Amino acid sequence: DQQVKQNSPSLSVQEGRISILNCDYTNSMFDYFLWYKKYPAEGPTFLISISSIKDKNEDGRFTVFLNKSAKHLSLHIVPSQPGDSAVYFCAAYSGGGADGLTFGKGTHLIIQP
Residue 62 as a binder of another protein (CB under 8 A): the answer is no
Beta carbon of residue 79, minimum distance to another protein (angstroms, whole number): 26
Residue 42 as a binder of another protein (CB under 8 A): the answer is yes
Q: Specify whether the CB–CB gap between 10 and 110 falls below 8 A.
A: yes
Q: Which of 50, 46, 95 is nearest to 73 (CA)?
A: 50
Looking at the DSSP bridge assignments, the partners of residue 54 are: none
Q: Specify whether the CB–CB gap between 2 and 102 falls below 8 A.
A: no
Segment contacting another protein by CB under 8 A, of 19-27, 41-49, 61-69, 74-82: 41-49
Binding site for another protein (CB under 8 A): 32, 34, 36, 41-46, 49, 51, 89, 93, 97-106
